[in-house]
Structure 1
């Protein structure tokens, strides 16, 4: 079904509930298709930089509980810009996206087979189901496609069999957690694994109580821990139990943005009128360290979500007297569960833990050096310093990455640092809550350039709880290098970037490791593979510096290093002189290349398919 547009426009109003004290809104006009059905916002999600992604739908009047068969995504950027795409049914049919994906299962009114998840910046992961026989649930398989925000499909992957009977398909095994009740929630844990969380009314079969033994739990929230790439399942563990059976209306789990570990929010009731909110805080190890409950008013349709800057947002729908429209009301809940009632259309959200927010998108970091937005002098920036609010310990094999902003979503990696047995002491403690990261000379080697820092989740742990801490996943911690004219005279950045035209070429050398030598010996008599090796090595080195690939050349020659006990080859790598004013001098490029190779364990030299073969002790000569 293609979307036939006519000149009629309708207004889709979306209130941008930004986590600040300022209310903002946007009016976006949608082309109305031939169908006269009302637009509905069905799902909303967001990236870490507060870019929102919205799926809009229209009801299909010819089918029960189904939408029109197209995928409409709208992206709302923090500056208010809106872009989007519409994939019609003929495009979706090419991915074998069958019509039932646009319907809501009658058993669970909040579910829909077609879902989207913001992943790497500018990409969405779309999941849906395919069935060989739609009447046979055992023929259903889950699939996923990666799609960008322009609607271009990049890849498709089979995820595994769909299962409505409590089976969870994992990479290496199927985990049965029968009996369970709805809903079944999955949450990533801070240690890199996953938790499957589910309710179980052990005392109920329909409306009849099975167990009459005093003090026997009649209801529980349980979870399984799945170790990532370990093939290990632990549990089930108990998160919460009661002596009376209750019905779970909503279960939502996520990282704890302010505290440590994960948090589950549960809305449940034991009668038609009483509703209980249950907040459970637990660690990746399975330890529950806090449970809070409170009662609330009689409303039938709730939803709830953790807020990045503290507290929780719960909202509900109330139908107007005209029976056509809804009012949306909600609560902002702090950690003591004191609600402030507000109208979604008129009242701002606020940051409950706003005093801890210093612009890093997380509430665990107090201060840094450099600060956000600083203009730095590379001659004086030999360390990054991070001070956390709480006492921390460093975790092995988790990275802090320094990138140069090149205008793309991925940047240019300048340095990757972690604590491990073989990369030196680049990360050290200053005190119990502060660390410093050594910066090598080649990292900030571009004047008037923007750099930013990414930190892996779990780079540090909370010392008291031994729980990984959520970290910086966007470019919020950024700063700029000075222009060459304002750099300290004791530093050679002026020299590096002064206009050099008449410098001569440098004929230099790099040395292969023993593994690199063995590989090169196996291909050196194959002219095609030999040329491919030199070409790819040259390109990887140019990208690592970074400099134009035309300035890194090679004669394609090699020689044997006779000064070492084991046979190692030395290769020709040359640097061409600058042709234009403003280009870097050959000496500055040679200095950076030498630094990059000597520190290859923390630079992209160590991750290159060919540059990884270079001997870090030899460097560039």
Structure 2
């Protein structure tokens, strides 16, 4: 009995430790892989040296795609103690499947030699690149009228498509010169939280920071930029330590964050006053999208005798609002003795709302033995602290992972210390993967891809958003009932409606077809209850048997009901599922035959159609059918416009045949008729509004079925036929009686 008692106590202790030990004691197993790419070039290698990865950046709207810049060393500049690279802009797009796409730009007249050499160790590279969205990349550089005269330097940009074409060119203004004649490249460019809405550029001008806000506009898939607003942030007086960063906020705006230390001079020998001679703080400017004037600066954190040497900020992926982590060096300075005492380093982690309200403020002292070089907040919770030490021509990375409780996480991997290339290029993707550039060979380069573990107290349910608990349909479902007209999302905290879109797409032949979108601000069929939102959808949305769908939720579709703060969305292809296939017992057997109907163009659509020549009208009908078969969806031979139209002032009426299905497993003509009518009458929320031709269909008319003449006038025809028959019978009877009377009279005459 005693042995059993000890055994029971032992098991209770083990269970307690497993349940209540902090997550920092949990050991994770990290998976990783390598990508090696053999460099080839249309032109011969200019310098004969090996290719180096200079920089890595990722797309915000595609969590699995990254872009790297490649360069070959041309010579070493002893004046600036930096390397200069060959005069070619070489970009490499790394796709999700591991394939690599090359973009080479070699116009040395536009991107001049001054861009291929680093100016100083602290200054940013003169040439930079930023993945925008879809297949667009922005490259920024400096162009000079006279490369020997910095006062002629102007900052420029070009937008590249993956196919290498230049979509647009930009000019940002004069380059920054400090203290007036020395060229000092610097800029911050950050995509909007909805990348297609543009980006913000922040750059220094005459010792102040000036922001430039650009918006990306579309025209037939070719983008052009236009300046929305520009303004100047007030100058900072006597900054001894200044760190600045910018990030996009969930409401569509931007946050300008900076940490600053300002000297305050004391002439007194008072030691207490001297201890507070430096005033350090972390400040925020919340800038709304297309906002014309810079709003007031609010203070997040202040402390004397601090130098901030690093500042990292982003949207909070785990809690509500935003997060910043600053690396600080504490000093006590006296102007009398000119000595520094009691120096130490630590982190400050701040969580705050858009209003400036502080949710939490933690001071941390992680046990790092080397100087912090970089920090990244991770999409699945926690943060990575990357320390580096130089080792000859290489850099040794030490990767430390901390959870949301600021506890160092243990993990099983041979990658705790990694030797990377001499540029130390790395990036963290939206899918919680870190990419690191490894040592290159003579003709190839390599990247290490590490899947980092989730470090959040919330479960990762596969939606790319830790705030999402469950959904209907569930992610990965393969038998959603056809014509389902309700979906819902349950979050980890109470929510309310905000102002953004939820969009339902169908994947057809590797293309995304818009089926329906819902705006939360104008949604009459959206119901919130605590943590759950329920949305009604059209019957025609999930109407394709075996169809592959995904739902994308924009940031700020909902917001926290407690803090009134926007909540992260769900990226494309994350919430995906499939509708049910039709079984043999469910196949349509009620085939009512072909259906003829009428479509009506809007007033503007009718005017456009009338201006087309005969060839243009033929193309119009072809495009109409091509777009409709994708939006319904159905087979191409099921729709026939018969190219007949009629002018019914002020609109054009178009005749359309819907052919009955030859296969009982396909939609019936009656199904197509109903779906088409619903799509058109709800044009503002369906794919009909996105087609160049379908957008011209009149939503107040829909699809009107033309009744068969026999059916429409069957009663009248019956009456006419019956009347005709009766008249014939009466005529026959009357004729018969007349003949009898004539015969009777004739008989009596003969008898007489």
Tell me which interval the TM-score lies in, with the shorter structure as reference length: 0.7 to 0.9
Q: Which 5+ residue runs of structure 2 have no aligned equivalent?
A: 1-26, 177-203, 214-227, 332-339, 417-450, 705-752
Shift of 1:574: 0.6
Task: Tell me which residue corresponds to 1:10.
Answer: none
Q: Structure 1: how far apart are the matches of 2:282 and 2:645?
A: 67
Which of residues 276, 288, 293 in structure 2 aligns to 1:227?
A: 288
- In the TM superposition, 1:33-432 aligns within 5 A as 35-37=48-50, 39-40=52-53, 42-45=55-58, 48-63=62-77, 64-77=82-95, 81-85=98-102, 87=104, 90=106, 92-93=107-108, 96-106=110-120, 108-109=122-123, 111-134=124-147, 135-137=149-151, 139-148=153-162, 152-158=164-170, 160-161=172-173, 162-163=175-176, 164-165=204-205, 166-170=209-213, 171-179=228-236, 182-203=242-263, 218-246=279-307, 248-270=308-330, 274-296=344-366, 297=368, 299-300=370-371, 302-320=373-391, 323-340=392-409, 345-347=414-416, 349-353=452-456, 355-379=458-482, 381-396=484-499, 398-408=500-510, 411-421=512-522, 425-429=524-528, 431-432=529-530
Which of residues 426, 438, 463 in structure 1 aligns to 2:536?
A: 438
Task: Tell me which residue corresponds to 2:558.
Answer: 460
Task: Tell me which residue corresponds to 1:558.
Answer: 646
Q: Structure 1: how far apart are the matches of 2:100 and 2:573?
A: 22
Task: Tell me which residue corresponds to 2:701.
Answer: 618
Task: Tell me which residue corresponds to 1:520.
Answer: 606
- SS, match of residue 66 in structure 1: strand
Contact 1:316–1:329, Cα closer than 8 Å, also in 2: yes
Shift of 1:324: 3.6
Shift of 1:373: 1.1
Which of residues 566, 577, 588 in structure 1 aligns to 2:671?
A: 588
Task: Tell me which residue corresponds to 1:599.
Answer: 682
Alignment CA distance shift 1:407-1:549 (3 Å)? closer
* Greater mean alpha carbon deviation, residues 344-353 or residues 386-395: 344-353
Alignment CA distance shift 1:536-1:475 (3 Å)? same
Contact 1:191–1:284, Cα closer than 8 Å, also in 2: no
Contact 1:457–1:471, Cα closer than 8 Å, also in 2: yes
Q: Structure 1: how far apart are the matches of 2:151 and 2:273?
A: 36
Alignment CA distance shift 1:160-1:354 (3 Å)? same
- SS, match of residue 361 in structure 2: strand
- SS, match of residue 534 in structure 2: strand
- In the TM superposition, 1:436-585 aligns within 5 A as 436-485=534-583, 489=586, 494-495=587-588, 503-504=593-594, 506-512=595-601, 516-517=602-603, 520=606, 524=610, 527=613, 531=617, 540-547=627-634, 551-553=639-641, 555-560=643-648, 569=651, 571-575=653-657, 577=659, 585=668
Contact 1:575–1:586, Cα closer than 8 Å, also in 2: no
- SS, match of residue 173 in structure 1: strand
Q: Structure 2: how far apart are the matches of 1:153 and 1:146?
A: 6
Q: Structure 2: how far apart are the matches of 1:55 and 1:354?
A: 36
- SS, match of residue 508 in structure 2: coil
Alignment CA distance shift 1:552-1:354 (3 Å)? farther
- SS, match of residue 85 in structure 2: coil
* Greater mean alpha carbon deviation, residues 332-341 or residues 233-242: 332-341
Contact 1:538–1:573, Cα closer than 8 Å, also in 2: no
Task: Tell me which residue corresponds to 1:12.
Answer: none
| Higher RCO (CA < 8 A, seq sep 6+) | 2
Please give the per-residue CA displacement for 1:88-110, whole angstroms capped at 9, x wherever unaligned: 5x2x447x22233333331625x
Q: Structure 1: how far apart are the matches of 2:514 and 2:608?
A: 31
Q: Which 5+ residue runs of structure 1 have no aligned equivalent?
A: 1-18, 561-566
Alignment CA distance shift 1:182-1:138 (3 Å)? farther
Alignment CA distance shift 1:251-1:521 (3 Å)? same
Q: Structure 2: how far apart are the matches of 1:183 and 1:580?
A: 69
Number of matched pairs: 567
Contact 1:331–1:342, Cα closer than 8 Å, also in 2: no
Shift of 1:559: 4.4
Shift of 1:55: 3.2
- TM-score, length-normalised on structure 2? 0.67
Shift of 1:349: 3.5
- SS, match of residue 591 in structure 1: helix
Please give the per-residue CA displacement for 1:25-77, whole angstroms capped at 9, x wherever unaligned: 21515349563357345334355433444334443324333333334444455
Q: Structure 2: how far apart are the matches of 1:575 and 1:345?
A: 66
Q: Structure 1: how far apart are the matches of 2:254 and 2:345?
A: 29
Please give the per-residue CA displacement for 1:461-488, whole angstroms capped at 9, x wherever unaligned: 01111110111112011011222227x8
Whether 1:26 and 2:34 are equivalent positions in the alignment is yes
Q: Structure 2: how far apart are the matches of 1:345 and 1:53?
A: 26
Contact 2:514–2:687, Cα closer than 8 Å, also in 1: yes
Contact 2:482–2:579, Cα closer than 8 Å, also in 1: no
Shift of 1:292: 1.9
Shift of 1:304: 0.6
* Greater mean alpha carbon deviation, residues 159-168 or residues 399-408: 159-168
Alignment CA distance shift 1:204-1:136 (3 Å)? farther
Please give the per-residue CA displacement for 1:137-187, whole angstroms capped at 9, x wherever unaligned: 564123131332xx5235123152244332222332222332266443111
Alignment CA distance shift 1:184-1:113 (3 Å)? farther
Alignment CA distance shift 1:45-1:609 (3 Å)? closer
Q: Structure 2: how far apart are the matches of 1:341 and 1:356?
A: 19
Q: Structure 2: how far apart are the matches of 1:173 and 1:78?
A: 36
Shift of 1:328: 1.1
Q: Structure 1: how far apart are the matches of 2:620 and 2:262?
A: 64
Contact 2:323–2:352, Cα closer than 8 Å, also in 1: yes
